[in-house]
Structure 1
Amino acid sequence: MSSLVLVNAREGTEIRVAVVRNDTLVDFFYERVRSYRPRVGDIYKARISSVDRSLDALFVDIGGERDGFLPRAHIRTLQNSRQPLTKFFRSGQTLNVQVVREESAQKGALLTTYISIPGRYLVLCPFEEGIKISRKITNDRVRQRLMNVVKDMVPEAYGFVIRTAAQEARKADLARDLQFIIRIYNRLKEKTKKAPAPSLLYSESDLAIRVIRDFLPSGNSRIVVDEPATYERMKAFLEEISPRLSKRLQLYKETTPLFDEFGVESAVESLMGRRIDLPSGGWLTIDITEGMVCVDVNTGSAKGETTEQTALQTNLEAVVELARQLHLRDLGGLIVVDLVDMKQRSNRKKVESRLRKALRQQKERFTMLPINSLGVLVMSRQKRREGALVPWSEKCRFCDGLGYSVSPVSHAAAALRQLQRYLANSQPRGVRLLLHPAVAEALFNNMRKTLARIEQQSSITVEVSLDSSLKPGTVQIVPL
């Protein structure tokens, strides 16, 4: 199936990638340029910070803001051992680890010692044996051909995985890819001997290269890039692993922004919104909390022959769109969906089947429970990284991510309480009250008499000054 891959890097501070199929946004990726946070796939020479017996895991310093987390199940050398970790490891030891999941605001990166280096068609697994092949390659003849070709060219000492993209690859393409990833691994081994701990041994490619390697759809897909240096890097990578794919690469030179030109900017911007409208007039809302993703489905203006039919139609549309949004926004963990109530069990089964079918088209693993008597569906979905929108956004400095903020009137009342608290413990001649402009306005409009009474009771003068750099809930009291 033909796809259009749009790579926007012109602004120089971020890389955005949109994959469009049949005029619909089907994939979106985002990355900040020169971000020094550990990325999935990065390999480090790390130093053990501590051995945690209660968690049966190691905390490992990889040079990030937080220590990485290395559970027993991810330690290759302990594959068949049940003895305590303290028997094998101690603080200060070094070992090579790879990032499996990026660090979040609360947790360090999840690590593994099962190191792998991906190419476009093959994945090198240096500490494993044998050749495996992607389950998505279902044609028996293709599977056998690829196994025979790869078996004849790969070193026996290493394990390899044949990726889905290899099903259309020629033998020469596979050979180039093999040499490419072996060169990377040889450089990594040499660097390990000399590098201190912690230090980065192998940096995962930036988003523009990873999209070609990991996500470029098969078929006659076209890649359009709007920044010359990024275009040259992508072209050089394609010519090294598969020269014939480089013909699909195109440099966009027009002044109109790339996503605007191809009509996807509004679809990308909508990913930041809570509400997603459905074709029949209903909508769903998505709220991301600390512990889960909460989804609510509403019928809105949708109308069917009966209430039950309206609920069924809305829910069927909602679960298809939900699966798409989970993929585009890269949301995972616990997901709770409050569907429109359906009385018939057969209709609930239809909705479950539709969601399961949509999720199976994605590579992330999931577990889904039946719709319960309250009309709630609970599921979990594999989370590979912190979420595509996290680096694109930041916590609201006014509401701290709650989605709601205290009203200016309430902030003004709290400011007066703080002033009275201050005056109860000190006797200045006067004070200057620094407030956010919205809070100061609420104070003057609603509490001028209260402020005058405080001045009279304390025999002081209160000057109110505006400071737009302050949070609405922040009050600064300066004695005069």
Structure 2
Amino acid sequence: MLKEILINVGEEETRVAVLEDKQLVEMYIERAVSQRLVGNIFKGRVENVLPGMQAAFVNIGLEKNAFLYVEDAVPARAPEGQPALSGANISDILKPGQEVIVQIVKEPIGTKGPRVTTHITLPGRYLVLMPTVDYIGISRRIESDRERERLKEMAARLKPEGMGVIVRTAAEGVEEEELRQDVQLLSKLWRKILQRATHGPVPALLHRDLELVQRILRDVFTEDVARLTIDSRPEYEKVLDLLDITGPRLKFKVFLDERDDLFRLYGIEAELERALKRKVWLKCGGYIVIDQAEALTAVDVNTGKFVGSTNLEDTVLRTNLEAAVEIARQLRLRNIGGIIIVDFIDMQQEEHRRQVLQVLEEEIKKDKTKTNILGITQLGLVEMTRKKVRPSLSEVLQRPCPYCDGRGKVLSEETVGIHFKNYICDLARRTSADTILVEAHPLVAARLIGSGGGNLRDLEHRTGKNLYIRGCQGQHIEDVSVRPLYDQADIQANTLPVTPGQVLEVRIEEPHAVNLHDGIARLDGFILDVEGAGALVGEVVPVEVSKVHRTYARARLLK
């Protein structure tokens, strides 16, 4: 598998794309205004202890207090990794006002503050140092029993007394001296953190994790990466300087490409646009639909345009197999975390179900983020969980729609029209004004006016008021402005934007719905029926207003 890393350094953001066989699989984005918090170490003060939730809130100096679970607050762990205080109560461990050193393990997302732990981890290139835990662990991705045993023996010799280490995947085949340098560097860093914790105010930042490019070099740029391309010369030189210390063997894989459109040349920009859409097309013609909700993400698989060539069961199997590969890629690319439900197309044969599940499991192994597949149900639903430590791609690049508030839908014009029709009747009973002005989206205004003004006449009859309904193109479809007009000058200024004999230049937007010979123009939502302009759609023409009605005006073309 050909693995590449592309780094785009901009003024306001740095973006890193990870490609496998020329296909985008992971995306990292860091902006100056929203620095990453995971990995940062703080000295904080316990604000609240909640026995009912077995958790505490810790003030670490951020906008929202951090959340500390009881299992993340237990002082120490036994060598085999089990909590030393089994069933401990949060009230026995922490007290309000107590000062603690914590590390952020989960970014603040939405209304939730960051999640923290007292079990500090300091990642290096080959090892992760755990100063508060006496433990040795080996990466699960190292499959050779012989290599695992070799690394475990070295780790036991090198780890500081009373501390723990986890040997990372990158350490496979590495000599003891390189591991020793990692341990010494991380131990020195921990001593500095403890020294800072004894001085200064509380809360305080004790240690900031590396910036994005440095983290990529530490965590992603390993021996299996064929090429790292960066488009910034200053950052390129920094990368080479850092690799001189951490990985000189990797320097020959680093390349500088100062073209402005590096991401566009590799198709990353187009792939990012697709990664924000609900529907993802498969090569076979089928497609998957991804819906991210608050509590879980639902993925639906469909055959789409794929009709197969043998039989239905074969068509379904081929679609599901291709979907399994794409789903695993999309989870990594979109950085989707939490509960994930995949609705594969129903398969009759148990063997086919096993095949699909096996392919999904194999693809998930490529993902460094911890993912658990709980199996496939009789309905063809696969239940999964994926650890969520940072915002998803959509949360980074998008925000909820200010119009629909993230619902993805708005009320229909019929629904809005019925609601405000009742509101107009209620207002008419409460006001002494003889005239009421209604401003609404053109679709809602048309619904209130009705064909030939029938609905408007009925509404005026019911309310006993003069109603002026104006369509405003810029108005949100769910917002309708209804207000009484008391002064005659106010009525004239707000209800009739044109007067007979007035000369205007207007753009013909569409032909008349009934009389195609005429064209329709709009002036702040007020309709102008222009005689003989049906063939001039899109053109700006001079007209003279000939007659003004309450809901529209007629005009003639000027030659």
TM range (shorter): 0.7 to 0.9
Separation in structure 2 between the aligned mates of residue 472 and residue 237 of structure 1, nearest angstrom: 55
Whether 1:203 aligns to 2:191 is: no
Instruction: Say if 2:254 is the partner of 1:249.
Output: yes
Query: What is the aligned partner in structure 1 of residue 231 from structure 2?
Result: 226
What does residue range 428-447 of structure 1 map to in structure 2 within 5 Å?
Answer: 435=440, 439=441, 441-447=442-448
Q: Structure 1 stretch 321-330 or stretch 237-246: which is displaced more?
A: 237-246
Q: Assess, with a 3 A threshold, how the Cα gap between structure 1 residues 192 and 423 changes in structure 2: closer, same or farther.
A: farther
- 1:286 is aligned, of 285, 290, 296, to 290
Confirm whether residue 261 of structure 1 aligns to residue 265 of structure 2. yes
1:331 aligns with 2:336: yes
> 1:337 & 1:195 partners in 2: Cα distance?
50
Task: Compute the displacement of 1:265 (Å).
Answer: 2.6
Give the distance between the partners of 2:192 and 2:479, measured in 1 at CA.
Answer: 53
Does 2:17 match 1:21? no
Is the 1:430–1:460 Cα contact (8 Å) retained in structure 2?
yes
Q: Counterpart of 1:278 in structure 2: which amino acid?
A: L
Unaligned runs of 5+ in 2: 77-82, 486-559
* Length-normalised TM-score, structure 1: 0.87
Write out per-residue CA displacement over residues 107-165 of structure 1, whole angstroms, 9 at most, x where no aligned residue.
32222110011111121111122543223223345445544555555433432222111
In the other structure, the counterpart of 1:5 is 5
- What one-letter code is carried by the residue in structure 2 that aligns with 1:182? S
Residue 326 of structure 2 corresponds to 321
* Paired residue secondary structure (1:41): coil
In 2, Cα distance between the equivalents of 1:216 and 1:29? 13
Are the aligned partners of 1:366 and 1:381 in contact in 2 as well (CA < 8 Å)?
Answer: yes
Q: Give the Cα separation in 1 of the matches to 2:127 and 2:367.
A: 20
**Does residue 165 of structure 1 match 2:163?**
no
Tell me the distance in 2 between the aligned counterparts of 1:451 and 1:91: 65
Larger Rg: 2
Q: CA offset at residue 95 of structure 1? A: 0.8
**Per-residue CA distance 1:213-250 (angstroms, 9 max, x = gap):** 11224235321122344334434433332234334332
- 1:298 aligns with 302
Cα distance, 1:219–1:311 mapped onto 2, change above 3 Å: closer
Structure-1 separation of matches of 2:373 and 2:149: 34
Alignment of 1:74-113 (within 5 A): 74-77=72-75, 79-81=83-85, 82-113=87-118
Say whether 1:404 aligns with 2:403: no
Evaluate the alpha carbon distance shift between residue 261 and residue 164 of structure 1 in structure 2; reply closer, same or farther with a 3 A threshold.
Answer: same
- Partners of 1:445 and 1:65 lie apart in 2 by 47
* Gap regions ≥5 residues in structure 1: none
Give the deviation of 1:421 after TM superposition: 4.3
Q: Which moved more, 1:73-82 or 1:419-428?
A: 419-428
CA offset at residue 433 of structure 1? 5.3
Secondary structure of the residue aligned to 1:290 is coil
The one-letter code matched in structure 2 to 1:295 is: V
Secondary structure at the counterpart of residue 391 of structure 1: helix
Considering fraction of residues, name the structure with more helix.
1
Residues in 2 aligned to 1:242 and 1:172: alpha-carbon distance in whole angstroms:
13
C-alpha separation in 2, matches of 1:424 and 1:108: 49
Q: In structure 1, what is the equivalent of residue 512 of structure 2?
A: none
Aligned length: 472
CA RMSD in angstroms, aligned pairs only: 2.9
Q: Return the TM-score normalized by structure 2.
A: 0.76
The question of 1:184 aligning with 2:178 is answered no
Instruction: State the one-letter code of the partner of 1:3.
Output: K
Which moves more between the two structures, 108-117 or 451-460?
451-460
After superposition, the C-alpha distances for 1:268-292 in whole angstroms (9 at most, x for unaligned) are: 3211111122222211111111222
Q: Which amino acid aligns with 2:324?
A: V
| Partners of 1:180 and 1:241 within 8 A in 2 | no
Kindly provide the amino acid, as one letter, of the partner of residue 443 in structure 1: V
CA contact (8 A) 1:69 1:109 kept: yes
Aligned equivalents of 1:458, 1:177: Cα separation in 2: 85
Describe the shift of the 1:251–1:424 C-alpha distance in structure 2 as closer, same or farther (beyond 3 A).
farther
Which amino acid counterpart does residue 443 of structure 2 have in structure 1? A
* Superposition pairs of residues 25-174 of structure 1, within 5 angstroms: 25-36=24-35, 39-77=37-75, 79-81=83-85, 82-147=87-152, 149-171=154-176, 173-174=178-179
Specify the code of the residue in structure 2 equivalent to 1:286: I
State percent identity of aligned pairs: 31
Where relative contact order (Cα < 8 A, 6+ residues apart) is larger, the structure is 1
Indicate if the aligned counterparts of 1:45 and 1:94 stay in contact, CA closer than 8 A: yes
